[in-house]
Structure 1
Amino acid sequence: MKILEKRHDDLFSGSEVWFVRPDHIDDVFRVCVTSNAAPVPAGGDRASLVIATDAELSGGALRSLVGSGAVGLDLPPLYAVSVGYPLDAEPPFVVRRNRDLTPSAWPAFEPVMPAMTGASVSMATGGADAYLAFLDEELKPALAEAFPVDPDDATLTGQSFGGLFVVHALLTRPAAFRRYLAGSPSLWWNDRETLRRAAEAVADSPAPSAHVYLCIGELENKARFGRQFGPMLPEAIRSLLPAAMAAGDMQGDFFVLEQTLREWKGEDFSVEAHMFPEESHESITGAMLSRGLRRLYGYV
């Protein structure tokens, strides 16, 4: 990984922004790093690390939570890192994330987001393995060199496609993170293949040393999802939607995943799942980060 630039964040005091180019992804990523005010204890101990996908969606909420959590003794010493793209990236992050957060190529989906957002370019899907390798093998070591963080005491979090990516990471590279926080995972992706992979992993592999928190919103029901991606969309866009997306059952898939992972028995493996009242797919991020991180770190 090449660090192209480091600068102080103009919005959040005490934060730093890196622009980096991974070794095996031909793109530039914007990495936002911040710490809560809690001092790291003397004697060589290092702070825990939280890495969040979709800095454009999660960065502000994560920064606020980490800062206020230290004051209220709601979180341990943490470094929070949200990973996204340069703000002037073209195509924008809503298209680029489709490449990095999806676990398999699904050409049928690739025209959808450009049509919905007006972007002029689509991108190939299925880059989750390369993105996960970048986070685990390149970004974590670089952060450990620059900040007093323990790369072996790390949490991965994401929502929607980010939540799908978190589940994929748990199934394919479980030792990369100690904690996994997945909000509203888009398990409908490519005809629900991640649910099949979860069943295979549970049946064929020993449970990892990891703690998992899953959450979804009460309003992410099948009727609302069908309406959002049905009558509310213009026909020109609706005609592009793969059937698995248009008929997605977010909550049904969520509970299948929960029950599957609960069958993974291990002394140092745990799963917790929660449905947040009155939260939707678009509003859940703050609740997910607050409750999920405090639960995973044992502060609530």
Structure 2
Amino acid sequence: MLIVSRHKDSLVAGSEVWMVKPEHIDDILRICITSPRYLPEGKRCGAVIATDAELSAGALISTIRSCAVGLDLPPLLAVSIGYPLDAAPPFVLRRNRDLTPTAWPAFASATPCLTGLSETFATGEGEAFLAFIDEELRPALAEHFPIDPDDVTLTGQSFGGLFVLSALVRRPNAFRRYLAVSPSLWWDDGAVLRMAERAAVTFPAPSATVYMCIGELENKARFGAQFAAVKSQLPSAMQKADMMGDMFVMQRLLQPWVGTQFSIEAHVFPEESHESIMGAALSRGLRRLYGNL
């Protein structure tokens, strides 16, 4: 990984932005990094790495910092991965490439009706993105900040939640904690659910804690209303998506791992939608994963 530039953030104290060129991704990524306000001399902290910096960075920083003041969370480095602010095509297309586990042409052809953009973008490069985080970004963070590289939480929402769970079943021991928010497990007719079924009988139980959550308003009726105008243009798997049901299927598929080393929890947040859930998910999910809820 090449750090193309590195500068202090002018809005958030203790924050900086890296522009990096990954080894196996033909793109520039924008990494937002915020150090804990208080860390005793000589101590190392854990880190939370989130996808979709454009959507998650502010909420992640405020949640981690506020909860650390009240001892609801330990001091943590907040890291969000996104794209240059002037990227063209924009992040809403680039994330489709990096957060999805398989190439799915049916979704690519439906992208314009979902985004309002004429461009389409490749999908299915999640393995390269995972390798970047695991093999390139994490060691670089440990080199420049006082973190424990073995104490990392991975989190993301929607396609980000899908990515988190695909990371879990592809590299079960890569991270200590996984927070998957509103995971889009309908992707490619349940590709990650099939991966999970294989992983549970192929890999030994990892030393990891998993928290999945979804809003009670993320249901078929609401999605049907949201996408009514374009429903006929969507892949059938997306039209029939049962996000809440898929989350509990994932929990069941990974039950063979559950024991002293591994735990997985699924939670439904009342009165939250796909668009409103992130604040509650970060607060409740991180506190749960770090044993303070």
The secondary structure found in structure 2 opposite 1:37 is coil
Amino acid at match of 1:188: W
Asked whether the equivalents of residues 210 and 270 of structure 1 are also in contact (C-alpha less than 8 Å), the reply is yes
Q: For 1:50 and 1:252, locate their aligned partners in 2 and report how far apart those are by CA, in whole Å.
A: 27
Q: For 2:112 and 2:129, locate their aligned partners in 1 and report how far apart those are by CA, in whole Å.
A: 21
Asked whether the equivalents of residues 19 and 29 of structure 1 are also in contact (C-alpha less than 8 Å), the reply is yes
Q: TM-score, normalised by structure 2?
A: 0.97
- The answer for the alignment partner of 1:95 in structure 2 is 93
> Structure 1 residue 286 and structure 2 residue 279: aligned?
yes
Structure 1 residue ranges (4+ consecutive) displaced by more than 3 angstroms after TM superposition: none
Q: For 1:103 and 1:11, locate their aligned partners in 2 and report how far apart those are by CA, in whole Å.
A: 34
Q: CA deviation at 1:212?
A: 0.3
5+ unaligned residues in a row in structure 1: which ranges?
Answer: none
Amino acid at match of 2:188: N
- The answer for the alignment partner of 2:243 in structure 1 is 250
Asked whether the equivalents of residues 258 and 264 of structure 2 are also in contact (C-alpha less than 8 Å), the reply is no
The secondary structure found in structure 2 opposite 1:255 is helix
Q: CA deviation at 1:130?
A: 0.1
Deviations 1:85-127 (A, max 9, x none): 0111111111000000000000111132333323232111000
The secondary structure found in structure 2 opposite 1:176 is coil
> Structure 1 residue 179 and structure 2 residue 177: aligned?
yes
Q: For 1:156 and 1:33, locate their aligned partners in 2 and report how far apart those are by CA, in whole Å.
A: 14
Amino acid at match of 2:279: G
Asked whether the equivalents of residues 14 and 37 of structure 2 are also in contact (C-alpha less than 8 Å), the reply is no
Q: TM-score, normalised by structure 1?
A: 0.94
The secondary structure found in structure 2 opposite 1:113 is helix
- The answer for the alignment partner of 1:161 in structure 2 is 159
Deviations 1:56-94 (A, max 9, x none): 111110011111112111110100100000111111111
The secondary structure found in structure 2 opposite 1:18 is strand
Q: For 1:82 and 1:110, locate their aligned partners in 2 and report how far apart those are by CA, in whole Å.
A: 25
- The answer for the alignment partner of 2:8 in structure 1 is 8
In the TM superposition, 1:33-182 aligns within 5 A as 33-39=33-39, 41-42=40-41, 44-182=42-180
Q: For 2:37 and 2:8, locate their aligned partners in 1 and report how far apart those are by CA, in whole Å.
A: 17
In the TM superposition, 1:231-246 aligns within 5 A as 231=228, 233=229, 237-246=230-239
Counterpart among 194, 198, 201 of residue 200 in structure 1: 198
Q: CA deviation at 1:38?
A: 2.7
Same amino acid, percent of matched pairs: 66
5+ unaligned residues in a row in structure 2: which ranges?
Answer: none
- The answer for the alignment partner of 1:271 in structure 2 is 264
Asked whether the equivalents of residues 182 and 214 of structure 1 are also in contact (C-alpha less than 8 Å), the reply is yes
